Amino acid sequence: MSAALDASLRAAVERKDVPGVVALITNRERVLYQGAFGVADVATGRPLTLDALFRIASMTKAITSVALMQLVEQGRLDLDDAAEKYLPELTGLKVFESFDATTGAYKLRPASRPATVKHFLTHTSGLAYPFTSANWRDFKPRAGETYPFGGPLLFDPGERWHYSTSTDVVGRLVEVISGRKLEDYFREHILFPSG
């Protein structure tokens, strides 16, 4: 197995699919595989090492998802539950029916269905980011309107995938259901146990 993985990862670097890669495979008892190939810095050619540090950026999304799935495994919530069951601020979500980028005028309608836990976990909730949606970037709510996780939905929950602030909702679900701050939950149930 090690030779095949080495060859595959080395080939990815040689094809220039990636400048470098570090891989680790483990089970509960031991490390099964580890390898480092390519460079950590393209400009200097500094090689990658097994203990290389990486910016993890949106990898906190994966950790947040693990936390939520632990709670699902414990039976504390179900993926098909309406998220508003735990987060009442999600009740009555609105969807853009129209948005005029030149004037900022918009028309909203009620979502056709409540967003489920699964919709937030899979980025199919209808939420967005300002950098993934011009509507969200340019949207200015009217006086008195509030949007707990950034703005109106782009589409009805479950209709399609769109990279979004959905993981913020997942993190809030973890906090509400576990009764712990997200960073404390991570530390106690994911980071400390994994060493």
Q: Do 142 and 91 share a structural domain? A: yes
Reply yes or no on whether 65 is catalytic: no
Q: Do 183 and 120 share a structural domain? A: yes
Q: Do 64 and 49 share a structural domain? A: no
pLDDT in tens, 113-166: 999 999 999 999 999 999 999 999 999 999 999 998 999 999 999 999 999 999
pLDDT at 117: 98
Please pick, among 2, 140, 163, 181, the residue that the annotation labels catalytic.
163
Q: Do 79 and 13 share a structural domain? A: no
Q: Do 149 and 182 share a structural domain? A: yes
Q: Is 190 within 8 Å of 66 (Cβ atoms)?
A: yes
Reply yes or no on whether 112 is catalytic: no
- Contacts for 31 with CB less than 8 Å, ≥ 6 apart: 24, 25
pLDDT at 121: 97
Reply yes or no on whether 61 is catalytic: yes
pLDDT in tens, 43-77: 999 999 999 988 777 888 999 999 999 999 999 99
Please pick, among 16, 58, 140, 194, the residue that the annotation labels catalytic.
58
| Confidence category of residue 91, pLDDT binned at 50, 70, 90 | very high
Least confident of 22-31, 48-57, 68-77, 183-192: 48-57
Range of 37's domain?
2-54
- What are the φ and ψ backbone dihedral angles of 102, each rounded to 5 degrees? -75, -35
| Confidence category of residue 95, pLDDT binned at 50, 70, 90 | very high
Please pick, among 2, 8, 61, 129, the residue that the annotation labels catalytic.
61
**Terminus-to-terminus CA distance in the chain, angstroms?**
26
Average pLDDT of the residues in 106-117? 98
Mean of the per-residue pLDDT values for the chain? 94
Other Cβ atoms less than 10 A from the Cβ of 136: the count is 22
pLDDT at 1: 77
Question: Count of domains in the chain?
Answer: 2
> From CA 157, how far away is CA 63, in angstroms rounded?
23
Last residue of a domain, one of 20, 35, 54: 54
Q: Do 106 and 71 share a structural domain? A: yes
pLDDT at 193: 81
pTM of the model: 0.74
Q: Do 144 and 71 share a structural domain? A: yes
